[in-house]
């Protein structure tokens, strides 16, 4: 039986479809099956027009295939095995939660699975477009079913049984057929209704919200473009090499900054497509979202509302369209409805108001403060330098401005000021620093060492380039602690890794992101290809890729490492190592590291702030590990109350530590959070205990080995250093 016949067999009642006379390469029938049970109220004027590849796209496909095979860092050929992986990745992109296609559809496509590779080599795009068209029509069917269900009235839904729904269906089996999908979608609607009811929303408002959501998605499905299919297909293909290699359509290429940061009259966030959602990757330091404080990495955007207007549901929208909606005039307000990264399921959302503005360079600048500690009758003054990003004003630099701003120049000045303040040690805070200018990481290392290599860069031909600090001047020779977390990436990892390899200081915090690759953007006849061409290696030979930097002393973090980080990405390049390059080892911490860790653990065992952090991490972990949620109203309400009570208890315990009045209800807490976020002049010192702990570790260093101060003086470097 042919594929076309099999799909027709599973598509007994096709919906309205324009007769395009399309004869596909693989004979896939472009049909939408009818609805079992409830019948969708079809808009007879709405016609899905199957998208088809263009000659320009076919040529771009051939160029992409050649670039991937011959210039990418990973040596990977296009084989039958790769073809199957592309097929799976493409379906994962188009139907990640497995709510549109059935097992019957997958079976009908089975003989396509191992034929995509050879087709992609030669620019034969029709197989990928056939799959895309089929999925779009299944999407239309499902959304029509959802709207029909809502039209029947949500008061007819049963919330008293034992139904439950799986939270994450990305690895669930495909539903057998359309009837099974109907049952699943009834549960999805019930879950969405129940979540809003528990938040106090009236049924008529819930119906309006859901109808607007699904009508918006349906409109997008009917407006599918050829470029949508091509970009999705190419990114499933390029993603086989690594997650940072991707295709940019001509529209995206023209607005490349969209993929880097929404800094110009936007919110200052790096966004990317994540299946049907637009996901926050990271926040731009100094940007409106970062200063507002509520938007977090891994949050997924559900809707966008302009000031005084109704929200627009953006599930299923293209990234560039979501970006256009978020952008707007400076000082205007945009409201994002997001699914928080720590939400128990996709029905839990919150709204965040952000005032648009430009990201100013001075607001990304390094800053300093001095903390004072009293230990056994002895006072310590610890300088803290916070570096949000590795920046440089390239325009001012090229113009010859002697006072141009850069990370290294600013830190040099701050260190000088801290010396005048008489600090006993310096803590460099690189938490949430996503990287930036590579040469700044190189130069910054140079402020703390005599001279020598800082990072190695290896390309696909195994040629290794070594970046060096050539300046023998040492700006700071005292004890040093570097704070990192999971959001410390790229240039931050290069700096932290070099400091660790040189024995120049201790790295404290949590395992870093693991972004150790270098990309280049190459023009095509149609759009651009961002391709991984090199890999970073530490001076000790180990890569920062995948593994990141492992701290000498670990502090747990709220961030979910299974969802954020290089090792959480599909097809990420592995960790490996090359030969070390000769470098000095200024101090060997092995003799005191166990005692340092023991002291740290003893402090944290009695630290009420750390105890609260542990409770919060345990709470968030439990939320993330929930496989199913109940669709029984009473059970769900009880679960909802438990979650709210836990959040309130943790927040009030933290307020009690600060000598502040507790909140009576969760609504009071959320209102206060909104007020704090709206007032950009206020700061939350919730995590200051981590900085203070860095100061205590510094004091431990000084107490355990009084030699540290002299060993780290520049006059002692040659005598005390070990060459490796």
So which residues are the catalytic ones?
490, 501, 515
Contacts of 146 (CB under 8 A, 6+ apart): 185, 188, 189, 210, 214
Structure-derived torsion over alpha carbons of residues 80, 82, 84, 90, reported in degrees to the nearest 10: -140
> What distance lies between CA 438 and its chain's CA centroid?
21
By CB atoms closer than 10 A (0-12, 13-18, 19+), residue 421 is exposed
Q: 122 Cβ partners below 8 Å, 6+ apart?
A: 62
> If you write DSSP's letter for every residue of 287-349 in order, what string do you get?
SHHHHH----TT-EEEEEEETTS--EE-TT--HHHHHHHH--STT-EEEEEEE-TT-SSTT--
Kind and range of the H or E run holding 709: helix 708-711
| CB-CB contact of 314 with 278 (8 Å) | yes
Distance of alpha carbon 656 from alpha carbon 665, whole angstroms? 15
Q: Which residue has the tokens 């100013």?
A: 360
| Torsion 375-377-383-388 (CA) sign | positive
Mapped onto helix, strand or coil, the DSSP state of residue 454 is strand
Compute how many other C-beta atoms are within 10 angstroms of the C-beta atom of residue 538.
26
For 368, list phi and psi in degrees, rounded to 5.
-135, 160
Q: Distance between CA atoms of 452 and 450, rounded to whole angstroms? A: 7
How far is the C-alpha of 453 from the C-alpha of 471, rounded, in Å?
11
Distances (CA, A) of 301 to 210, 350, 458: 16, 10, 37
Residue 622's contacts (CB-CB under 8 Å, 6 or more residues apart) are none
Please state, in angstroms and rounded to a whole number, the distance separating the CA atoms of residues 143 and 22.
25
User: Using CA of residue 660, residue 662, residue 663, residue 666, what is the dihedral sign?
Assistant: positive
Q: Are 531 and 522 in contact (CB under 8 A)?
A: yes
Cβ within 8 Å of residue 649, ≥6 positions away? none
- Read off the tokens for 86: 């592309």
Both tokens assigned to 501: 């390899």
- DSSP for 172-236 reads SPPBSSHHHHHHHHHHHHHHHHHHHHHTT--HHHHHHHHHHHHHHHHHHHHT--HHHHHHHHHHH
Q: Cα dihedral sign for 572, 574, 575, 580?
A: negative
């Amino acid at each position: 039986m042919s594929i076309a016949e099999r799909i027709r067999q599973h598509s007994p009642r096709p919906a309205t479809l324009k007769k395009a006379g399309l004869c596909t390469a693989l004979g896939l029938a472009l049909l939408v099956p009818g609805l079992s049970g409830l019948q969708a109220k079809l808009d007879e004027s709405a016609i899905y027009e199957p998208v088809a590849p263009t000659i320009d796209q076919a040529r771009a496909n051939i160029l992409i295939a050649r670039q991937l095979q011959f210039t990418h860092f990973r040596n990977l050929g296009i084989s039958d095995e790769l073809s199957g992986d592309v097929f799976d990745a493409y379906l994962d992109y188009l139907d990640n939660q497995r709510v549109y296609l059935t097992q019957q559809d997958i079976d009908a496509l089975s003989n396509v699975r191992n034929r995509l590779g050879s087709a992609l080599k030669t620019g034969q795009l029709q197989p990928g477009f056939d799959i895309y068209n089929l999925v779009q029509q299944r999407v239309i069917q499902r959304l029509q079913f959802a709207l029909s269900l809502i039209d029947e009235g949500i008061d007819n839904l049963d919330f008293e049984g034992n139904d439950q729904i799986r939270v994450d269906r990305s690895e669930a089996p495909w539903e057998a057929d359309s009837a099974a999908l109907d049952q699943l979608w009834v549960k999805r609607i019930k879950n969405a209704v129940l979540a809003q009811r528990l938040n106090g929303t009236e049924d008529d408002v819930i119906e309006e919200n859901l109808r607007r959501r699904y009508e918006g998605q349906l409109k997008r499905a009917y407006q599918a473009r050829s470029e949508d299919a091509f970009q999705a297909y190419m990114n499933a293909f390029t993603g086989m090499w690594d997650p940072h290699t991707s295709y940019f359509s001509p529209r995206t290429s023209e607005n490349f900054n969209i993929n880097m940061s929404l800094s110009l009259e936007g919110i200052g966030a790096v966004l990317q497509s994540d299946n049907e959602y637009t996901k926050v990757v990271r926040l731009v330091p100094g940007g409106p979202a970062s200063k507002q404080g509520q938007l977090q990495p891994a949050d997924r955007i559900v809707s966008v509302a302009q000031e005084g207007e109704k929200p627009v549901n953006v599930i299923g929208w293209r990234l560039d369209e979501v970006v256009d909606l978020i952008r707007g005039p400076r000082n205007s307000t945009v409201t994002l409805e997001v699914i928080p990264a720590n939400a128990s399921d996709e029905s839990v959302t919150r709204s965040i108001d952000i005032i648009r503005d430009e990201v100013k360079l001075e607001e990304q600048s390094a800053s300093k403060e001095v903390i004072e500690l009293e230990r056994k009758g002895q006072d310590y003054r610890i300088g803290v330098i916070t570096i949000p990003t590795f920046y440089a004003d390239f325009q001012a630099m090229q113009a010859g401005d002697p006072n141009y701003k850069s990370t290294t120049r600013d830190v040099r000045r701050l260190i000088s000021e801290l010396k005048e303040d008489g600090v006993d040690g310096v803590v460099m805070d690189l938490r949430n620093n996503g990287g930036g200018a590579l040469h700044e990481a190189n130069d910054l290392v140079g402020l703390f060492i005599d001279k020598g290599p800082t990072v190695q860069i290896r390309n696909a031909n195994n040629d290794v380039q070594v970046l060096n600090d050539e300046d023998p001047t040492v700006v700071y020779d005292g004890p040093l602690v570097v704070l990192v977390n999971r959001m410390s990436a790229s240039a931050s990892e290069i700096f932290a890794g070099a400091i660790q390899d040189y024995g120049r200081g201790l790295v404290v915090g949590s395992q870093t992101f693991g972004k150790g690759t270098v990309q280049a953007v190459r023009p095509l006849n149609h759009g651009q290809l961002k391709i991984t061409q090199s890999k970073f290696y530490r001076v000790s030979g180990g890569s920062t890729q995948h593994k990141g930097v492992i701290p000498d002393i670990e502090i747990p973090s709220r961030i979910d490492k299974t969802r954020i980080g290089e090792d959480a990405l599909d097809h990420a390049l592995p960790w490996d190592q090359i030969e070390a390059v000769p470098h000095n080892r200024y101090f060997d911490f092995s003799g005191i590291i166990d005692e340092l860790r023991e002291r740290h653990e003893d402090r944290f065992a009695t630290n009420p702030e750390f105890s609260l952090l542990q409770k919060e991490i345990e709470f968030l972990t439990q939320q993330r590990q929930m496989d199913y949620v109940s669709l029984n109203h009473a059970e769900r309400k009880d679960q909802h109350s438990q979650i709210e009570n836990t959040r309130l208890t943790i927040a009030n315990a933290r307020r009690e530590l600060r000598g502040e009045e507790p909140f009576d209800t969760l609504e009071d807490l959320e209102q206060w959070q909104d007020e704090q976020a709206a007032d950009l002049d206020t700061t939350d010192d919730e995590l200051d205990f981590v900085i203070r702990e860095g100061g205590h570790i510094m004091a431990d260093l000084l107490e355990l080995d009084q030699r540290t101060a002299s060993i780290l003086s520049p006059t002692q470097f040659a005598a005390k250093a070990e060459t490796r």
